[in-house]
Amino acid sequence: MIRNINNALLKNRRILATVLTDRMETARANRDKLLRLGFHFGYQTHVYTTKTGRSYYYCYDYGYLALENDWYLIVKKKEE
């Protein structure tokens, strides 16, 4: 069970990494594209909520923020 969950998380991370290339700080993708690539919205490692109440859902170091009309902002956590 743990292996299956970790595999789903790693797959989600790989998908987010393909959408957000190394040269970009953020990217946008719609829900259909992410689902076509095999993204599973039920798996994330943690949630970051901003002071304004917006929630970023992370799969390890890559995250996404729900926007309007089934669009998502893809981000990568900055190294400290």
> What are 25-63's pLDDT values in tens digits?
999 999 999 999 999 999 999 999 999 999 999 999 999
Model pLDDT, residue 80:
66
7: buried, middle or exposed (CB in 10 Å: 19+, 13-18, 0-12)? exposed
Q: The pTM is what?
A: 0.92
With a CB cutoff of 8 Å and minimum separation 6, the contacts of 20 are 26, 27, 62, 74, 75, 76
Model pLDDT, residue 23:
84
What are the percentages of helix, strand and coil residues in the chain, rounded to 5? 35, 30, 35
Model pLDDT, residue 22:
80
